[in-house]
Structure 1
Amino acid sequence: MRRTLFLVIAACVLLVLILPMVVLNIWRTPRVSIKTAGPGIRVKMHDTGKVVVMPLEEYLVGVVAAEMPALFHEEALKAQAVAARTYTLKKLSSSVNSTHHPGADVCTDPNHCQAWLSPLAMRRRWGLVQYWSYHDKIVSAVKETDGMVATYRGKLIEPVYHSTSGGRTEASSEVWKYSFPYLQSVVCKWDKQSPRYLNTAVMTISQVAQKLNTNLGSVPAASGGAKSLLKVLERTVSGRVKTIRVGDKTYNGTEFRRLLGLSSTYIDWETDGDKITFKTKGYGHGVGLCQYGADGMARQGKSYQDILTYYYRGITVEKYD
Structure 2
Amino acid sequence: MKGEEMKKIAKGFIIVVVLLMFSIGTCFGLDADTYVRVRIRSPRGYNEHAMLKGYDNIHVYEKNGNELVELFQLDTELNFLLDTYYDSNLNVQLKNPTTGPYHVKLKNKQFSTFEETQVEIRNLEKSIDLCFYPYYNGERYEITVGSYVDENTAIDTINKLNNNNLDSEILCGINKNIVVYNSENNIAFMYSNNYNIYFTSYNSNLSFNMISIDKKPFRGMMGFYIIDESKLISINYVDIEGYLYGVVPNEIIPSWPIEAIKAQVLAARTYAMSCLDYKSNYGYDLEDNQDSQVYRGYASEYEDINKAVDDTKGQKIYYDDKLIKAFFHSSSGGSTENSENIWFEALPYLRGVQDEYSNISPQTEWNKVATKDYIIGKLQDDGNDINDLYGIEISKVSENYRVLECIFLTDIGKITYKKENVRRVLGYDFLLSSWFTTKNSNFFYFTNESFAELSKNVIMQKEENTGSSILDVIVDLDDEELDSSYEEINPSTVLDTGNIDGKYLISSTKTASVNKNSTAFISKSGISIQDNDTSEYNFSGRGWGHGIGMSQYGAKEMATQGFTYEEILKYYYTGVTIK
TM-score after normalising by structure 2: 0.43
| Alpha-carbon offset, residue 104 of structure 1 | 2.6
Give me the whole-angstrom Cα distance separating, in 1, the residues matched to 2:283 and 2:374: 42
Equivalent pairs, count? 257
Match status 1:232 vs 2:232: no
Counterpart Cα distance in 2 of 1:308 and 1:39: 23
2:260 to 76, 88, 91: 76
| Partner in structure 1 of residue 179 of structure 2 | none
Aligned equivalents of 1:37, 1:292: Cα separation in 2: 30
Displacement after TM superposition at 1:266 (Å): 0.7
Over the matched positions of the two proteins, sequence identity in percent amounts to: 33
Match of 1:271 in 2: 440
CA distance 1:231–1:57, shift in 2 (3 Å): same
Larger RCO, structure (CA 8 Å, separation 6 or more): 1
Offset of residue 37 of structure 1:
5.4
Secondary structure, in 3 states, of the residue corresponding to 1:190? helix
Aligned position for 1:217: 388
The within-5 A match list for 1:159-178 is 159-178=326-345
Task: Say if 1:205 and 1:216, in contact at 8 Å, map to a contact too.
Answer: no
Larger fraction in strand? 2
Q: Distance in 1 between matches of 2:536 and 2:285?
A: 46
Q: What residue ranges of structure 2 are gaps of 5+ in the alignment? A: 1-30, 45-232, 442-533
Q: Does the 8 A contact of 2:244 with 2:265 survive in 1?
A: yes
Residue 153 of structure 1: how far off its partner (Å): 0.9
Tell me the SS of whatever aligns to 1:310.
helix
The question of whether the paired residues in 1 share the 8 Å contact of 2:39 and 2:286 is answered with yes
Aligned to 1:139: 306
* Higher mean C-alpha displacement, 154-163 vs 83-92: 83-92
Q: 1:229-255: CA deviations, max 9, x gaps?
A: 111111011011100111021111311
Q: Deviations over 1:158-186 (max 9, x none)?
A: 10111110100010011111111000110
Which residue matches 2:320?
153
1:307 alignment partner in structure 2: 568
User: Are 1:170 and 1:185, in contact at CA under 8 Å, matched by a contact in 2?
Assistant: yes
User: What is the CA–CA distance in structure 1 between the aligned matches of 2:32 and 2:400, rounded to whole Å?
Assistant: 44
Distance 2:358 2:569 in 1: 15
Residue type at the aligned position of 1:106: L
Moved more, 45-54 or 55-64: 45-54
Equivalent position amino acid for 1:51 in 2: I
Tell me if structure 2 keeps the 8 A contact 1:165–1:188: yes
Instruction: Indicate the SS of the match to 2:348.
Output: coil
How many Å apart are 1:95 and its aligned residue? 4.8
* Structure 2 partner of 1:259: 425
Cα offset for 1:317? 0.7
Tell which structure's C-alpha radius of gyration is larger.
2
**Letter of the aligned partner of 1:249 in structure 2?**
I
Distance 1:72 1:95 in 2: 35
**Residues 127-146 of structure 1: CA distance to partner in whole angstroms, max 9, x if unpaired?**
xxxx7xxx122112111111
CA-based RMSD of the aligned residues comes to 1.9
CA distance in 2, matches of 1:252, 1:37: 42
In 2, the alpha carbon distance for the partners of 1:298 and 1:290 equals 12
Post-superposition CA distance 1:54-101 (Å, at most 9, x none): 222111111111111222211111011101111222223x4542x4xx
Letter in 1 for 2:244: L
Work out whether residues 167 and 189 of structure 1, in 8 Å CA contact, stay in contact via their aligned partners in 2. yes
Residue aligning to 1:201: 368
Structure 1: gaps spanning 5 or more residues: 1-35, 123-130, 220-228
C-alpha deviation, 1:280, in angstroms: 1.2
Q: 5 Å matches for 1:1-321?
A: 38-47=33-42, 48=44, 49-92=233-276, 94-97=277-280, 99=281, 102-111=282-291, 113-120=292-299, 122=300, 135-213=302-380, 214=384, 215=386, 217=388, 219=390, 229-247=391-409, 248-261=414-427, 262-271=431-440, 273-318=534-579
